[in-house]
Amino acid sequence: MRILFKTSYDDDINLFKHNHHRFWYILLFVALLCLPFLISDYMVGEFTNVLIWALAGMGLMILVGQTGQASLGHAAFLAIGCYSNVILQSNFGLPFVISFPLAGLISGLAGVLLAIPTTRLHGIYLAIATLAASIIIEDIIVLAEPITGGVSGLYAPDINLFGYSINRYVDPSAFYWLTLGVVLIIVLFYKNLLRSPLGRAFAAVRDSEISAQAMGINVARTKAVSFGISTAITGLAGALMGHFAGIFTNETFNVIISITLLLMIVVGGVGSIHGAFFGAIIVAFLPQLLSFFRDWIGNTFELGSIVIPGLESAVFGCILIFFILFEPMGIYGMWLKLRTWFELFPFYRRDMFRRQKSYLKTERMR
Protein backbone atom coordinates (compact mmCIF):
# COMPACT_ATOMS: atom_id res chain seq x y z
CA MET A 1 0.00 0.00 0.00
CA ARG A 2 1.34 3.36 -1.01
CA ILE A 3 0.52 6.63 0.67
CA LEU A 4 1.02 9.79 -1.37
CA PHE A 5 1.97 12.80 0.67
CA LYS A 6 1.28 15.95 -1.29
CA THR A 7 3.67 18.83 -0.68
CA SER A 8 2.72 21.24 -3.46
CA TYR A 9 -0.25 22.14 -5.61
CA ASP A 10 1.52 20.71 -8.64
CA ASP A 11 1.20 17.22 -7.15
CA ASP A 12 -2.39 17.14 -8.30
CA ILE A 13 -1.64 17.83 -11.94
CA ASN A 14 1.82 16.36 -12.50
CA LEU A 15 2.14 14.02 -15.46
CA PHE A 16 3.42 11.25 -13.23
CA LYS A 17 1.95 10.72 -9.79
CA HIS A 18 5.16 9.34 -8.27
CA ASN A 19 8.49 7.88 -9.26
CA HIS A 20 7.26 4.31 -9.69
CA HIS A 21 4.68 5.57 -12.09
CA ARG A 22 7.35 7.33 -14.14
CA PHE A 23 9.61 4.27 -14.04
CA TRP A 24 6.98 1.89 -15.43
CA TYR A 25 5.96 4.19 -18.26
CA ILE A 26 9.59 4.82 -19.29
CA LEU A 27 10.18 1.07 -19.19
CA LEU A 28 7.13 0.52 -21.40
CA PHE A 29 8.38 3.11 -23.87
CA VAL A 30 11.86 1.56 -24.00
CA ALA A 31 10.31 -1.86 -24.55
CA LEU A 32 8.23 -0.46 -27.43
CA LEU A 33 11.36 1.15 -28.91
CA CYS A 34 13.24 -2.15 -28.85
CA LEU A 35 10.30 -4.16 -30.18
CA PRO A 36 11.43 -4.34 -33.85
CA PHE A 37 14.65 -6.09 -32.79
CA LEU A 38 12.72 -8.79 -30.95
CA ILE A 39 9.92 -9.81 -33.32
CA SER A 40 9.44 -10.63 -36.99
CA ASP A 41 8.73 -8.00 -39.66
CA TYR A 42 5.15 -9.23 -39.97
CA MET A 43 4.48 -8.67 -36.28
CA VAL A 44 6.10 -5.22 -36.47
CA GLY A 45 3.51 -4.40 -39.11
CA GLU A 46 0.74 -5.64 -36.83
CA PHE A 47 2.00 -3.52 -33.95
CA THR A 48 2.15 -0.50 -36.25
CA ASN A 49 -1.49 -1.19 -37.06
CA VAL A 50 -2.31 -1.22 -33.33
CA LEU A 51 -0.57 2.12 -32.86
CA ILE A 52 -2.44 3.71 -35.79
CA TRP A 53 -5.81 2.48 -34.50
CA ALA A 54 -4.88 3.72 -31.03
CA LEU A 55 -4.10 7.14 -32.52
CA ALA A 56 -7.50 7.25 -34.22
CA GLY A 57 -9.06 6.01 -30.98
CA MET A 58 -7.40 8.80 -29.01
CA GLY A 59 -8.85 11.29 -31.46
CA LEU A 60 -12.35 9.97 -30.94
CA MET A 61 -11.72 9.63 -27.20
CA ILE A 62 -11.24 13.39 -26.84
CA LEU A 63 -14.70 13.88 -28.29
CA VAL A 64 -16.54 10.94 -26.69
CA GLY A 65 -14.64 10.35 -23.48
CA GLN A 66 -13.65 13.90 -22.59
CA THR A 67 -16.40 16.06 -24.05
CA GLY A 68 -19.19 13.50 -24.01
CA GLN A 69 -20.28 13.96 -27.65
CA ALA A 70 -20.98 10.75 -29.55
CA SER A 71 -19.78 10.60 -33.13
CA LEU A 72 -20.56 7.86 -35.63
CA GLY A 73 -18.74 9.61 -38.45
CA HIS A 74 -15.06 9.64 -37.62
CA ALA A 75 -14.11 7.46 -40.58
CA ALA A 76 -14.83 10.52 -42.72
CA PHE A 77 -12.02 12.38 -40.97
CA LEU A 78 -9.69 9.42 -41.34
CA ALA A 79 -10.48 9.72 -45.05
CA ILE A 80 -9.93 13.48 -45.15
CA GLY A 81 -6.57 13.15 -43.39
CA CYS A 82 -5.49 10.28 -45.60
CA TYR A 83 -6.52 11.86 -48.92
CA SER A 84 -5.20 15.33 -48.13
CA ASN A 85 -1.85 13.92 -46.99
CA VAL A 86 -1.36 11.90 -50.16
CA ILE A 87 -2.72 14.61 -52.50
CA LEU A 88 -0.44 17.22 -50.94
CA GLN A 89 2.53 14.94 -51.49
CA SER A 90 1.72 13.69 -54.98
CA ASN A 91 0.05 16.70 -56.60
CA PHE A 92 1.82 19.56 -54.83
CA GLY A 93 5.15 17.86 -54.22
CA LEU A 94 5.27 18.80 -50.54
CA PRO A 95 7.54 16.74 -48.27
CA PHE A 96 5.95 14.47 -45.66
CA VAL A 97 7.12 16.73 -42.81
CA ILE A 98 4.84 19.49 -44.09
CA SER A 99 2.00 17.48 -45.64
CA PHE A 100 1.47 15.34 -42.54
CA PRO A 101 0.70 18.15 -40.05
CA LEU A 102 -1.17 19.95 -42.81
CA ALA A 103 -3.37 16.88 -43.27
CA GLY A 104 -4.17 17.00 -39.55
CA LEU A 105 -4.95 20.70 -39.84
CA ILE A 106 -7.26 20.20 -42.82
CA SER A 107 -9.28 17.46 -41.15
CA GLY A 108 -9.37 19.53 -37.95
CA LEU A 109 -10.84 22.43 -39.92
CA ALA A 110 -13.33 20.07 -41.56
CA GLY A 111 -14.29 18.90 -38.08
CA VAL A 112 -14.90 22.49 -36.92
CA LEU A 113 -16.96 23.09 -40.06
CA LEU A 114 -19.12 20.09 -39.20
CA ALA A 115 -19.29 21.16 -35.55
CA ILE A 116 -20.64 24.66 -36.24
CA PRO A 117 -24.10 23.53 -37.40
CA THR A 118 -24.24 20.46 -35.15
CA THR A 119 -23.24 21.83 -31.74
CA ARG A 120 -26.89 22.45 -30.96
CA LEU A 121 -27.54 18.70 -31.19
CA HIS A 122 -27.30 16.27 -28.31
CA GLY A 123 -26.50 12.62 -27.87
CA ILE A 124 -28.28 10.51 -30.40
CA TYR A 125 -29.09 13.38 -32.78
CA LEU A 126 -25.43 14.30 -32.98
CA ALA A 127 -24.51 10.67 -33.62
CA ILE A 128 -26.95 10.43 -36.52
CA ALA A 129 -25.86 13.80 -37.95
CA THR A 130 -22.21 12.72 -37.97
CA LEU A 131 -23.26 9.40 -39.50
CA ALA A 132 -25.01 11.27 -42.31
CA ALA A 133 -21.97 13.52 -42.78
CA SER A 134 -19.74 10.47 -43.02
CA ILE A 135 -21.91 8.89 -45.73
CA ILE A 136 -21.99 12.20 -47.64
CA ILE A 137 -18.19 12.57 -47.50
CA GLU A 138 -17.76 8.99 -48.72
CA ASP A 139 -19.84 9.91 -51.77
CA ILE A 140 -17.95 13.16 -52.28
CA ILE A 141 -14.73 11.13 -52.52
CA VAL A 142 -16.26 9.08 -55.34
CA LEU A 143 -17.55 12.18 -57.13
CA ALA A 144 -14.30 14.17 -56.89
CA GLU A 145 -12.64 11.64 -59.15
CA PRO A 146 -10.05 13.91 -60.82
CA ILE A 147 -8.19 14.43 -57.53
CA THR A 148 -9.22 11.45 -55.42
CA GLY A 149 -9.12 8.76 -58.07
CA GLY A 150 -12.77 7.85 -57.41
CA VAL A 151 -13.53 4.21 -56.85
CA SER A 152 -10.16 3.05 -58.19
CA GLY A 153 -8.40 4.82 -55.33
CA LEU A 154 -4.96 6.31 -54.81
CA TYR A 155 -1.48 4.98 -54.14
CA ALA A 156 0.40 6.37 -51.15
CA PRO A 157 3.95 7.38 -52.12
CA ASP A 158 6.98 6.46 -50.03
CA ILE A 159 7.50 8.75 -47.07
CA ASN A 160 10.41 11.09 -47.63
CA LEU A 161 11.77 12.12 -44.22
CA PHE A 162 14.79 14.46 -44.53
CA GLY A 163 16.14 12.57 -47.52
CA TYR A 164 15.53 9.18 -45.93
CA SER A 165 12.85 7.19 -47.76
CA ILE A 166 10.49 5.03 -45.72
CA ASN A 167 8.32 2.35 -47.27
CA ARG A 168 6.26 0.22 -44.94
CA TYR A 169 7.06 -3.03 -46.78
CA VAL A 170 10.75 -2.40 -47.41
CA ASP A 171 11.52 -1.05 -43.99
CA PRO A 172 8.73 -1.89 -41.49
CA SER A 173 10.79 -0.94 -38.44
CA ALA A 174 11.37 2.62 -39.65
CA PHE A 175 7.64 3.08 -40.28
CA TYR A 176 6.96 1.61 -36.84
CA TRP A 177 9.30 4.09 -35.17
CA LEU A 178 7.76 6.97 -37.09
CA THR A 179 4.29 5.92 -35.93
CA LEU A 180 5.54 5.43 -32.37
CA GLY A 181 6.98 8.94 -32.42
CA VAL A 182 3.69 10.45 -33.60
CA VAL A 183 1.76 8.44 -30.98
CA LEU A 184 4.12 9.60 -28.22
CA ILE A 185 3.68 13.26 -29.18
CA ILE A 186 -0.11 12.89 -29.27
CA VAL A 187 -0.20 11.07 -25.92
CA LEU A 188 1.81 13.88 -24.31
CA PHE A 189 -0.44 16.46 -25.98
CA TYR A 190 -3.54 14.60 -24.74
CA LYS A 191 -2.17 14.32 -21.20
CA ASN A 192 -1.34 18.02 -21.14
CA LEU A 193 -4.70 18.95 -22.63
CA LEU A 194 -6.44 17.19 -19.76
CA ARG A 195 -4.76 19.36 -17.16
CA SER A 196 -5.25 22.62 -19.03
CA PRO A 197 -8.29 24.89 -18.61
CA LEU A 198 -9.60 23.66 -21.97
CA GLY A 199 -9.50 20.04 -20.81
CA ARG A 200 -11.39 20.97 -17.66
CA ALA A 201 -13.94 22.79 -19.79
CA PHE A 202 -14.38 19.60 -21.85
CA ALA A 203 -15.08 17.60 -18.70
CA ALA A 204 -17.53 20.24 -17.46
CA VAL A 205 -19.46 20.13 -20.75
CA ARG A 206 -19.52 16.33 -20.60
CA ASP A 207 -20.87 16.18 -17.06
CA SER A 208 -23.49 18.88 -17.34
CA GLU A 209 -23.92 21.45 -20.07
CA ILE A 210 -26.11 23.60 -17.89
CA SER A 211 -23.63 23.80 -15.03
CA ALA A 212 -20.80 24.34 -17.50
CA GLN A 213 -22.69 27.31 -18.88
CA ALA A 214 -23.27 28.58 -15.36
CA MET A 215 -19.52 28.42 -14.72
CA GLY A 216 -18.92 30.74 -17.65
CA ILE A 217 -17.94 28.20 -20.29
CA ASN A 218 -19.00 28.91 -23.85
CA VAL A 219 -20.52 25.50 -24.51
CA ALA A 220 -20.85 25.80 -28.29
CA ARG A 221 -17.27 27.00 -28.72
CA THR A 222 -15.89 24.33 -26.40
CA LYS A 223 -17.71 21.64 -28.36
CA ALA A 224 -16.42 23.04 -31.66
CA VAL A 225 -12.83 23.14 -30.35
CA SER A 226 -13.19 19.60 -29.08
CA PHE A 227 -14.46 18.54 -32.50
CA GLY A 228 -11.51 20.26 -34.14
CA ILE A 229 -8.83 18.68 -31.93
CA SER A 230 -10.49 15.30 -32.12
CA THR A 231 -10.79 15.28 -35.90
CA ALA A 232 -7.27 16.66 -36.34
CA ILE A 233 -5.80 13.72 -34.41
CA THR A 234 -8.05 11.32 -36.31
CA GLY A 235 -6.83 12.92 -39.55
CA LEU A 236 -3.21 12.27 -38.56
CA ALA A 237 -4.15 8.64 -37.91
CA GLY A 238 -5.82 8.55 -41.31
CA ALA A 239 -2.67 9.87 -43.01
CA LEU A 240 -0.60 7.13 -41.38
CA MET A 241 -3.29 4.58 -42.25
CA GLY A 242 -2.96 5.56 -45.91
CA HIS A 243 0.79 5.00 -45.87
CA PHE A 244 0.24 1.74 -43.99
CA ALA A 245 -2.34 0.40 -46.44
CA GLY A 246 -0.39 1.57 -49.53
CA ILE A 247 -3.54 1.79 -51.63
CA PHE A 248 -6.91 3.06 -50.49
CA THR A 249 -10.34 3.87 -51.92
CA ASN A 250 -13.56 5.34 -50.60
CA GLU A 251 -14.45 1.84 -49.34
CA THR A 252 -11.44 1.88 -46.99
CA PHE A 253 -13.19 4.46 -44.84
CA ASN A 254 -16.85 3.40 -44.85
CA VAL A 255 -19.48 3.67 -42.14
CA ILE A 256 -18.48 0.33 -40.63
CA ILE A 257 -15.05 1.79 -39.79
CA SER A 258 -16.75 4.69 -37.98
CA ILE A 259 -18.86 2.29 -35.96
CA THR A 260 -15.88 0.03 -35.24
CA LEU A 261 -13.93 3.02 -34.00
CA LEU A 262 -16.67 3.99 -31.55
CA LEU A 263 -17.14 0.40 -30.38
CA MET A 264 -13.37 0.07 -30.01
CA ILE A 265 -13.02 2.86 -27.49
CA VAL A 266 -16.04 1.58 -25.57
CA VAL A 267 -14.44 -1.85 -25.25
CA GLY A 268 -11.15 -0.25 -24.26
CA GLY A 269 -12.71 2.06 -21.72
CA VAL A 270 -14.27 5.44 -22.45
CA GLY A 271 -12.54 8.43 -20.91
CA SER A 272 -8.99 7.12 -20.60
CA ILE A 273 -5.96 7.13 -22.87
CA HIS A 274 -5.30 3.52 -21.91
CA GLY A 275 -8.73 2.64 -23.27
CA ALA A 276 -7.77 3.73 -26.79
CA PHE A 277 -4.75 1.41 -26.70
CA PHE A 278 -6.58 -1.57 -25.17
CA GLY A 279 -9.38 -1.19 -27.72
CA ALA A 280 -6.88 -0.93 -30.58
CA ILE A 281 -5.20 -4.15 -29.47
CA ILE A 282 -8.58 -5.93 -29.57
CA VAL A 283 -9.52 -4.55 -33.00
CA ALA A 284 -6.12 -5.29 -34.55
CA PHE A 285 -5.49 -8.72 -33.07
CA LEU A 286 -9.00 -10.21 -32.96
CA PRO A 287 -8.99 -11.33 -36.63
CA GLN A 288 -5.56 -12.94 -36.18
CA LEU A 289 -6.65 -14.69 -33.00
CA LEU A 290 -9.83 -15.99 -34.60
CA SER A 291 -8.08 -17.33 -37.68
CA PHE A 292 -5.55 -18.99 -35.40
CA PHE A 293 -8.34 -20.73 -33.46
CA ARG A 294 -10.09 -21.66 -36.68
CA ASP A 295 -6.97 -23.33 -38.03
CA TRP A 296 -6.34 -25.01 -34.70
CA ILE A 297 -9.88 -26.44 -34.52
CA GLY A 298 -9.73 -27.42 -38.18
CA ASN A 299 -6.46 -29.29 -37.72
CA THR A 300 -7.33 -30.93 -34.42
CA PHE A 301 -10.69 -32.29 -35.50
CA GLU A 302 -9.62 -32.82 -39.13
CA LEU A 303 -12.40 -30.61 -40.50
CA GLY A 304 -10.20 -28.89 -43.04
CA SER A 305 -10.39 -25.13 -43.32
CA ILE A 306 -13.55 -23.65 -41.87
CA VAL A 307 -14.89 -20.43 -43.33
CA ILE A 308 -17.60 -18.65 -41.35
CA PRO A 309 -18.39 -15.25 -42.88
CA GLY A 310 -19.14 -12.47 -40.43
CA LEU A 311 -17.64 -14.35 -37.48
CA GLU A 312 -15.26 -11.52 -36.60
CA SER A 313 -17.89 -8.85 -36.21
CA ALA A 314 -20.15 -11.26 -34.31
CA VAL A 315 -17.40 -12.11 -31.81
CA PHE A 316 -16.57 -8.42 -31.53
CA GLY A 317 -20.25 -7.69 -30.92
CA CYS A 318 -20.42 -10.34 -28.17
CA ILE A 319 -17.31 -8.94 -26.47
CA LEU A 320 -18.86 -5.49 -26.60
CA ILE A 321 -22.20 -6.64 -25.17
CA PHE A 322 -20.33 -8.36 -22.35
CA PHE A 323 -18.37 -5.22 -21.54
CA ILE A 324 -21.33 -2.83 -21.65
CA LEU A 325 -23.37 -5.07 -19.37
CA PHE A 326 -20.76 -6.12 -16.86
CA GLU A 327 -17.87 -3.67 -17.12
CA PRO A 328 -18.98 -0.30 -18.50
CA MET A 329 -15.49 1.12 -17.98
CA GLY A 330 -14.12 -1.40 -20.46
CA ILE A 331 -10.79 -3.17 -20.29
CA TYR A 332 -9.29 -0.17 -18.54
CA GLY A 333 -11.92 -0.58 -15.81
CA MET A 334 -10.86 -4.20 -15.30
CA TRP A 335 -7.25 -3.13 -15.10
CA LEU A 336 -8.16 -0.38 -12.61
CA LYS A 337 -9.97 -2.85 -10.36
CA LEU A 338 -7.10 -5.31 -10.50
CA ARG A 339 -4.63 -2.57 -9.63
CA THR A 340 -6.73 -1.27 -6.76
CA TRP A 341 -7.05 -4.82 -5.44
CA PHE A 342 -3.28 -5.15 -5.27
CA GLU A 343 -2.65 -1.65 -3.98
CA LEU A 344 -5.09 -1.95 -1.09
CA PHE A 345 -4.41 -5.61 -0.71
CA PRO A 346 -6.47 -6.85 2.21
CA PHE A 347 -8.89 -3.93 2.19
CA TYR A 348 -10.48 -4.11 -1.27
CA ARG A 349 -14.28 -4.23 -1.18
CA ARG A 350 -16.56 -5.34 -4.00
CA ASP A 351 -18.76 -2.27 -3.72
CA MET A 352 -15.92 0.13 -4.39
CA PHE A 353 -16.72 0.53 -8.08
CA ARG A 354 -20.47 0.07 -7.88
CA ARG A 355 -22.50 2.00 -10.40
CA GLN A 356 -24.75 4.61 -8.95
CA LYS A 357 -28.43 3.96 -9.51
CA SER A 358 -29.81 6.43 -12.02
CA TYR A 359 -33.12 7.18 -13.68
CA LEU A 360 -33.67 8.68 -17.10
CA LYS A 361 -35.73 11.73 -17.86
CA THR A 362 -36.87 12.90 -21.24
CA GLU A 363 -36.51 16.27 -22.86
CA ARG A 364 -39.74 15.84 -24.79
CA MET A 365 -42.82 17.73 -23.73
CA ARG A 366 -45.42 15.31 -25.06
Partner 1 sequence: MADLQLIMSGLANGCIYGLIALGFVLIYKATEAVNFAQGDMMMLGAFIALGFTNSDRMDLPFWLAVPMSILLMGCFGYLLDRIIIRRMFGQSQVSVVILTIALGFVLRFAAGTIWGHEPQSLESPFAGRDVSFGGVVLGLDEVVVIFTTVLLTIGFYFFFNNTKLGVAMQASSQNQLAAYYMGIPVKRIQSLIWAVSGMMAAIAGILFASKGSIDPGVGLVGIKAFAAAVIGGMGSLPGALLGGIIIGLVEPFAARYVAAGYSQVAPYLLLFLVLVFRPHGILAQIHRKKV
* Identity of the residue, 117 or 287, whose beta carbon is nearer to partner 1 in the bound complex: 117
What's the burial of 231, exposed, middle or buried (CB within 10 Å: 0-12/13-18/19+)? buried
As measured in angstroms, the least distance from the Cβ of 187 to partner 1 is 25
* Identity of the residue, 97 or 306, whose beta carbon is nearer to partner 1 in the bound complex: 306
As measured in angstroms, the least distance from the Cβ of 357 to partner 1 is 7
* Identity of the residue, 98 or 151, whose beta carbon is nearer to partner 1 in the bound complex: 151
As measured in angstroms, the least distance from the Cβ of 339 to partner 1 is 24
Residues 9 and 28: their CA atoms lie apart, in Å, by 28
* Identity of the residue, 32 or 320, whose beta carbon is nearer to partner 1 in the bound complex: 320
Residues binding partner 1 (CB under 8 A): 70, 117-118, 120-121, 123-125, 127-129, 131-133, 135-136, 139, 142-143, 210, 255, 259, 262-263, 266, 308-311, 313-314, 316-318, 320-321, 324-325, 328, 357-366
As measured in angstroms, the least distance from the Cβ of 140 to partner 1 is 8
Residues 112 and 231: their CA atoms lie apart, in Å, by 8
As measured in angstroms, the least distance from the Cβ of 249 to partner 1 is 15
As measured in angstroms, the least distance from the Cβ of 212 to partner 1 is 12
* Identity of the residue, 304 or 310, whose beta carbon is nearer to partner 1 in the bound complex: 310
Contacts of residue 157, defined as CB under 8 A and 6 or more positions apart, other chains included, come to 86, 89, 90
- Nearest in space to 358 (alpha carbons), one of 333, 332, 320, 328: 328
* Cα–Cα separations (whole angstroms), residue 240 to 97, 135, 191: 12, 22, 21
The residue type at 292: F
Secondary structure (DSSP) of 3-59: -----SGGGGT-SSSSHHHHHHHHHHHHHHHHHHHHS-HHHHHHHHHHHHHHHHHHH
